[in-house]
């Protein structure tokens, strides 16, 4: 395939960025999206040009670091996958692909497609823990948990903190991310000890970081690669009300 890439280039957080155009030939439909960017960077290095900076790590859809806006969608136009799992077979010969970083005040651009997501770390530090014995593993049946609850907790625990929900939201809200982290603890008895303190501190830190409020447009759920649900935001609100 022959593709035209319109990629956001920005030297650092204070520099003025702009879209630059690159032509790519012989792109295989079997390539992963990040492999295509690797091929572009190889070409740029061979031409003695600055390669495009983008974040990645596991390339297995687990770490969440590969997030970028592709043709107007976080992680690209295919639902429920991360950028690293996006295949070039979803594009066609002659396509123009627009690639840019997350757009949110709490996620300042570091360079090109890389943003600083430390704001998520500060939220987790504020309340993402439970008081348990960190010694030997406890007997699995010492605290019984109904399967429906454990399944729901697991469904929220798979949030990878990529920031797609923030990027998709017109208010740059982090409510889906925070609600997933609150829910994974709130649904289990081990998480009830600090429940009130946790929700107060995490919501306070979310607001302090500059994230916007939720206005229930549902864009976060629609673009989440792990399909975290809006029902978790409702649970966060209930937990927050009960904390006072």
Of 95, 110, 125, the one marking the end of a domain is 110
For residues 36-53, give the mean pLDDT: 97
For residues 153 and 213, membership in a common domain is answered with yes
User: Are residues 94 and 201 located together in one domain of the fold?
Assistant: no
Q: What pLDDT, in 10s, does the model give residues 66-97?
A: 999 999 999 999 999 999 999 999 999 999 99
Which of 84, 110, 136 is at the close of a domain? 110
Residue partners of 6: CB distance under 8 A and separation at least 6: 19, 20, 21, 96, 97, 98, 99
One domain, residues 141 and 233: yes
Whole-model pTM: value is 0.92
How close are the terminal C-alpha atoms of the chain, in Å?
58
Instruction: Write down which residue in 77, 110, 143 finishes a domain.
Output: 110
Domain span including residue 11: 3-110
Quick one: 70 and 156 in the same domain? no
Number of domains in the chain: 2
Does one domain contain both 61 and 130? no
Among 184, 218, 211, 210, which Cα is nearest to 199's? 184
Q: Comparing 31-35, 45-49, 112-116, 144-148, which segment has the lowest mean pLDDT?
A: 144-148
Strand, coil or helix: 64? coil
Three-state secondary structure readout of 183-242: HHHHCCHHHCCCHHHHHHHHHHHHHHHCCECCCCCCHHHHHCCCCCCCHHHHHHHHHHHH
CATH number at residue 67: 3.10.20.30
pLDDT digits (tens, 9 = 90+) for 202-220: 999 999 999 999 999 999 9
| Model pLDDT, residue 134 | 66
Confidence of residue 128 (pLDDT cuts 50, 70, 90): confident
| Same-domain pairing of 141 and 201 | yes
141-196 confidence digits (pLDDT tens): 778 889 999 999 999 999 999 999 999 999 999 999 999 999 999 999 889 889 99
Same domain, yes or no: 105 and 195: no
**Same structural domain, 103 and 124:** no
């Amino acid at each position: 395939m022959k593709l035209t890439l319109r990629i956001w280039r920005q030297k650092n957080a204070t520099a003025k960025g702009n879209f630059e155009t690159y032509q790519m030939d012989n792109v295989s439909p079997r390539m992963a999206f990040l492999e295509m960017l690797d091929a572009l960077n190889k070409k740029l290095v061979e031409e003695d040009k600055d390669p495009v900076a983008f974040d990645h790590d596991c390339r297995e859809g687990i770490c969440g670091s590969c997030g970028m806006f592709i043709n107007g969608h976080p992680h690209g136009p295919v639902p429920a996958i991360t950028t690293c799992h996006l295949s070039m077979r979803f594009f066609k010969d002659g396509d123009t692909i627009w690639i840019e970083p997350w757009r949110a005040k709490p996620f300042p651009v570091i360079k090109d497609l890389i943003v600083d997501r430390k704001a998520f770390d500060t939220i987790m530090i504020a309340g993402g823990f439970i008081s348990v014995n960190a010694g030997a593993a406890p007997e699995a049946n010492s605290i019984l948990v109904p399967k429906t609850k454990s399944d729901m907790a697991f469904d929220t625990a798979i949030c990878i903190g990529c920031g797609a929900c923030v990027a998709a939201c017109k208010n740059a809200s982090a409510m889906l991310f925070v609600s997933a982290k609150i829910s994974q603890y709130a649904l289990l008895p081990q998480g009830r000890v600090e429940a009130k303190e946790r929700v107060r501190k995490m919501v306070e830190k979310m607001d302090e970081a500059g994230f916007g409020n939720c206005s229930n447009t549902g864009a976060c759920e629609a673009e989440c690669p792990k399909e975290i649900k809006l029902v978790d935001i409702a649970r966060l609100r209930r937990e927050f009300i009960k904390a006072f």
